[in-house]
Structure 1
Amino acid sequence: MSLGKIRMSKVCFILIIVAFFAISAVIFNQIYLTSTMVVDEEFHLPLGISYCKFNFFVWDPKVTTLPGLYLVSALFMGPLKLCTIYWMRFVSLVCSIFNIILFYKLFRKYEKNEWGNILSSITLALLPPLYFFSNFYYTDVVSMTMILSMIVANEKKHHYLAAIFGLFSVICRQTNVVWVGLIAARYILTELYSFTKLRQQEKGVPAKDLFTFFRRVIKRPLKVLENSNIQFWLDTLSYLATLGTFVLFIKINGSIVVGDKSAHEATIHIPQLFYFSIFCLVFAWPHFVGEVLNFITFTKRNKLLIFILIIICFLIVYANTLVHPYMLADNRHYIFYIWNRFYGKYALFKYTIIPVYIFAWYVIIKSLYSKHDISFLALYLLCTTAVLITQKLIEVRYFFIPYILFRLRIKTNTNSVFNIVLEFVTYLVVNSITLNLFFTKTIIWPEYEDPQRLIW
């Protein structure tokens, strides 16, 4: 791309961000006028306002996350004395703008299609559940900002800074430690591979060298490490310091959860991986459609594998489908209606949808696989599994980070720009529908004076 076109694209990107903020501010204000408190905000907002006033010695035992969101609020809104519900929510909106810039930086790292990167960045910021929560005082948007900042710093080889953002991400939400682990492990694996000198030109761990690499590290670790340098050890220690701090927190707290632990008991819930695959399929459907014929061909060539996968999935669904009491009791969330009108209503539905799960995971794995670097796919699958299967409650917010990591890796070449346009239009339509439902549909709960609203 010529210098003139690059400058024009940068100007357009800035104008798009300004337009995004202007339109979002209008929506934000309308949401505030409609409802000043939704669901878990009743726990978050009082704490946020207290921290904003630099009163750090209050806590609500019903809050299960660390006070990262409140500390960010205190940092930006406290000095300005903007400690009201409106400005607490505004923190999320501002972070959603930062996220667009971070998305753009990452897409530019992975792809060279400038216009595709700009459109993808705006589209991801409009991901319906994520965009919805940019209007409320929840941890999700701020948490995403920290995770994206960590990844950007890591990609730019600013590993000290990446470790610091990783620590802040954990303070926003404890499960983010898994994604810090992904970034740390991938850095260490990539560097160790370079020390083995198996293939000088590679910047990752090639699939064909994986077993040779591990065998060499296990059999002759000192031989591999003798090629390391002091910077590698300093960078590694910065990540380990963040991870070690979290381990110390677990030891002191006795659990990953702070506050009310009753709703977050340790469990194994493997079907969460299936629900996540549906989330990916729904919100990235234009990128999945083109793989249908390829999947059919793959199925014909691997009938035994597909049969075995169907049997395994059937057994998992039969033996491990868990239903959290909150999901059946709280009719303020879309999951309540999806479950009761499909999964809970029709006994066979959860089995008939198994082929869709398999197709979705086929596309996810194919999109993330690279013969030049298998490390990301391997760690992504491990970390996504660790984050999701330990959650009993089905909650779309748990899917945000693994979905974003998946979506960032989808190729955005010229031929796929049309898919991004379809994705963009889909997000606009879904956002319009969900916002309209929020504005128009009320739910009466006797214990609340104000009517409740339907949210993700």
Structure 2
Amino acid sequence: MSGLGARFATVIPPGPRPSGIDGLGWTPAWSLRSAVWAHGTPSQASGGVGAGESSRWALARHDRDRPSRSARPVPPRTDQPRVRSRRNATQVREHPLNAAGAGAPTTLPVSAPPSAGVIIVRPAGRTAVSRVESTAIDSLLYLRACRYAWWLAILTFTWSYPRRGSQRAGSGFTGYGIVGMPRAECNMVSVCQQSVERATRALGAVLLASAVGAGVAAWLSAGDGLVLAPDQWGTIAQRLEAVAWLVLVAFAMAVSMSGLAHLRGRHESIVVDARIWAAAILILWYAAFNLLLPTKFGDENANQNAINGIVNGDWSFTQVLAVIPGYHWAVAQASKAWGPSLLYTRTLTCLLSVAMLWVYYALAQRYKPEQSDHAVIALALLPIIFPYSAAAYTDVPSVALVLAGLLALSRRHFVWSALMVLLSCYLRQSNLVWLGLFPAIAAWQLWQEMRAGPIEDRLSARDFLVHIIVARLYPFFVAAAFFLASFFLVSHSLIWGHVPANRPRPNLGNLFAITFYALLLWAPIWLPRAGADLSWLGRWAVRHVAPALVAVVGALGVGAALFFGYDNFHPWNQSFGFLTNIPLVFMQEFVWARVLGIVAVWWAVLAFGRIWWEQSHRVELLLVLGFFIIFMLPHALVDPRYYMVPLALINLFWVYPAERTRALLFWWAALSVFIGGAMILGHWRYLTISW
């Protein structure tokens, strides 16, 4: 089997690409009989399969019109290069360097023109394979059996785990800190828990059916076919394997929610750490994302090209980026030992995502200890963070550093906190705003501690400003000044890159987008209160007529400003290929859509304003919202990836109603699976770029 990898290299044939799950022509690991392999050379600087890498194997789709297995002749084994013509091939071309001797490259460059249209089966001078190549091929051939065996182990746990414990709700239930909850609410939790059990069993059944179906279809595609052609069975196997992976991720989400209720009880001997469940969700998504979508997705192309260029000493690729290439430089330094690759970059992102969960759990223990388990699961399921936790993007590593800075801040390590946020600024320069938020949060908390202490220890406002804010919080101001100076010295301006679309400019579309996402994400929280909010608004307007008239006039004025000031000017927000762009384009073209957007803003102010007033961390939430607005001012592009840090902080400081936490997890899990499924299945290829 190891000789298979040594004899095959590929050049993409001319003509239209064969249709695949996502239009990118990927081949899953089970279809090794119908796959060919390309061994990248160090001379491939950027772009294409195996760009800038050595000793990397990449999959390429086999021709759909191959004859049946029984009709394919077995080529003789010789020492000469053998070629197999592909569809639309017009000529057979010898490798131009085959005659150069043993030290010459042995494969066609990936950048060869598409007119080559051939597969070099065994290049001249290649008589043996390396140990690394043999191990890689054998491991991939073995992957299918291991994966199906692992699925069966998961399914065994599925049927045995949720059989017992349906009557645990009540005084013995300590998950989410609701001991002493009224019996009606405990009954609601019990009903919700039974729903989780049913959903877990259903997902297990779907997982079993899709996994077995994928295996059977793959076996039929390797033969002469039954009822359907082998290629049709191969397509079915691809789809079923993708569905199986997505269901596996959803199954892990359901088990995590079920585990929090079942295994955190007072009388339960097994204690399950919520961080383990959250990490399992992200790792499963990482595996599914890499196996089913091994090609570069969205901005991964620009990010990986920049990393490859830095490794090769070429910084020109960084000029197309919108952010300072600190992340790219760090990944390039870490990957110099064995060469950069998309898989390695994604792996680093996944590891940082998992580490972020432990940091977030420690923060949740500080700010809402009763819901710390829920908080860490919610962060893993947050639909804006979940899809990018395994992608080669700068966003999730940036969030991890900002949260690490907040953890240091909560422990009064102000120098370390400023250092963490400073490092995050070198990943995304817009994080400079959080160097203003963190000292504001620290100043408020120190003020509260001083006011709660003895009267003789209290300071005046002037003394507090001098002896507390200036004397203790100066590292944040020093870090901000250092970053601005270093950034200006490197870029000779306050803007990075030369792409005109990345120039800073305020965009009212971000206000509408933030409103839409807030209403969508927290729908399980505000929807049950909608009737009560409307009733309260009516009673308040009757009791306070004059303030109500002022509020109406102010709301109409703000609505008029939004109506006439809205302009969807950014070119990347004008295509229906991005899900985020759909409401933006509709508001640009139709009056009724813009009016609905303004009504949504009004309702968000009412609904979230009342929820905010009931929170114990009102000041922290208000500070996050204020700096969030400042953070979004220079962003001309409407992209929800920019909202990761603020939404993670809001989720941290927001104490949810105990009876709604499970519904919120359900909702976020459904949104995350939908986005991940659309990304992998390719129904909307660019869905998660703009969500």
Between the aligned residues of both structures, percent identity stands at 16
Which residue does the alignment assign to 1:430?
Answer: 671
1:326 equivalent in structure 2: 571
Report matched runs for 1:433-444 at 5 Å: 433-441=674-682
Deviation of 1:429 after TM superposition, in Å, equals 1.8
Distance 1:308 1:91, change over 3 A: farther
Given the superposition, is the C-alpha separation of residues 21 and 124 from structure 1 closer, same or farther in structure 2, using an over 3 Å criterion? closer
Which residue, out of 573, 582, 585, partners 1:337? Answer: 582
- What is the aligned partner in structure 1 of residue 485 from structure 2? 248
How many Å separate the matches in 1 of 2:349 and 2:424?
14
Q: Which residue does the alignment assign to 1:359?
A: 603
Say which of 390, 400, 423 aligns to 2:644: 400
Greater share of helix: 1
Name the residue aligned to 2:381.
126
Kept after mapping to 2: 8 A contact 1:175/1:387: yes
Q: For residue 61 of structure 1, what is the aligned residue in structure 2?
A: 319
Report the secondary structure of 2:664's partner residue.
helix
SS at match of 1:429: helix
Paired residues of 1:327 and 1:335 also in contact (CA < 8 A): no
Q: What is the correspondence of 1:1-400 to structure 2 with a 5 Å cutoff? A: 11-33=272-294, 36-51=295-310, 53=311, 55=313, 59-74=317-332, 77-78=334-335, 81=338, 83-113=340-370, 116-191=371-446, 200=453, 217=461, 221=462, 223-224=463-464, 228=467, 233=470, 235-249=472-486, 251-252=488-489, 253=491, 255-260=493-498, 262-300=500-538, 301-302=540-541, 303-340=548-585, 342-369=586-613, 375-400=619-644
Q: Greater CA deviation, 42-51 or 13-22?
A: 13-22
Write the deviation string for residues 281-309 of structure 1: whole angstroms up to 9, x where unpaired: 11121122243234214422143254134
CA distance in 2, matches of 1:259, 1:362: 40
Shift of residue 149, structure 1, vs aligned partner: 0.7
Q: 1:5 to 1:244 in 2, by over 3 A?
A: farther
Q: Which moved more, 1:148-157 or 1:379-388?
A: 379-388
Rate the CA distance shift 1:373–1:409 in 2: closer, same or farther, 3 A. closer
Distance (whole Å) between structure 2 residues aligned to residue 249 and residue 14 of structure 1: 37
Cα deviation digits, residues 391-416 of structure 1 (max 9, x gap)? 2321111222222221212214xxx3
Which structure 2 segments of 5+ residues have no match? 1-173, 178-263, 542-547
Q: Counterpart amino acid of 1:122?
A: I
Cα distance change of structure 1 residues 305 and 71 upon mapping to structure 2, 3 Å threshold: farther
8 Å CA contact 2:620–2:653 kept in 1: the answer is no
Q: Which runs of 5+ in 1 are unaligned?
A: 206-212, 444-451
Q: Distance in 2 between matches of 1:70 and 1:255?
A: 20
1:84-129: CA deviation from partner (whole Å, max 9, x where unpaired): 111112222222212222221222111232xx32133112222123
Q: Deviations over 1:192-230 (max 9, x none)?
A: 676xx655379xx9xxxxxxx9xx63xxx3x4457x37x
Structure 2 CA distance, aligned partners of 1:330 and 1:39?
A: 15
Q: Secondary structure at the match of 2:437?
A: helix
* Per-residue CA distance 1:335-373 (angstroms, 9 max, x = gap): 233434x42453221113323222223344444457987
Mean alpha-carbon deviation: is it higher for 8-17 or for 120-129?
8-17
C-alpha offsets along residues 124-145 of structure 1, whole Å, 9 cap, x if unaligned?
2221231111232111111110
- How far is the alpha carbon of 1:152 from its aligned partner? 0.9
Larger radius of gyration: 2
Moved more, 2-11 or 396-405: 2-11
The aligned amino acid for 1:379 is L
Aligned partner (choices 641, 651, 661) of residue 420 of structure 1: 661
Q: Is the 8 A contact 1:271 1:316 kept in 2?
A: no
Q: Which amino acid aligns with 2:453?
A: Q
1:330–1:41 Cα change, 3 Å: farther
Supply the distance in 2 between the matched residues of 1:200 and 1:56 (Cα, whole angstroms): 58
Matched-pair contact (CA < 8 Å) for 1:99–1:148? yes
Q: Distance in 2 between matches of 1:270 and 1:391?
A: 10
The Cα of 1:242 is off from its aligned counterpart by 1.0
Q: CA deviation at 1:234?
A: 5.6
TM-score normalized with structure 2 length: 0.55
**CA deviation digits over 1:234-260, x for unaligned, max 9?**
642211111111332465445442012
- C-alpha contact 1:92 1:142 (8 A) present in aligned 2: yes
Q: Assess, with a 3 A threshold, how the Cα gap between structure 1 residues 233 and 337 changes in structure 2: closer, same or farther.
A: closer
The offset of 1:186, in angstroms, is 2.6
Task: Out of 289-298 and 104-113, give the one that drifted further.
Answer: 289-298
One-letter amino acid of the counterpart of residue 236, structure 1? L
Give me the whole-angstrom Cα distance separating, in 2, the residues matched to 1:299 and 1:306.
Answer: 11
Structure 2 counterpart of 1:69, one-letter code? Y
CA root-mean-square deviation: 3.4
Determine if contact 2:615/2:654 at 8 Å carries over to the other structure: no
C-alpha separation in 2, matches of 1:200 and 1:192? 10
CA–CA separation in structure 2 for the residues paired with 1:6 and 1:133: 38
For the 8 Å contact 2:322–2:496, the answer to whether it is kept is yes
* One-letter code aligned to 2:326: G
- Higher RCO (CA 8 Å, separation ≥ 6 residues): 1
Kindly indicate whether the alpha-carbon contact (under 8 Å) linking 1:250 and 1:256 is maintained by their aligned counterparts in 2.
Answer: yes
Aligned AA (1:406): I
TM-score scaled by length of structure 1? 0.80
User: How far apart, CA to CA, are the structure 1 residues paired with 2:353 and 2:602?
Assistant: 32
**1:57/1:358 CA distance change after superposition, 3 Å:** same
Tell me how far apart the structure 2 counterparts of residues 87 and 130 of structure 1 sit (CA, whole Å): 20
**Deviation of 1:15 (Å):** 3.7
Do the aligned partners of residues 271 and 14 (structure 1) sit closer, same or farther apart at CA in structure 2, a change above 3 Å counting? Answer: closer
SS in 1 for 2:580: helix
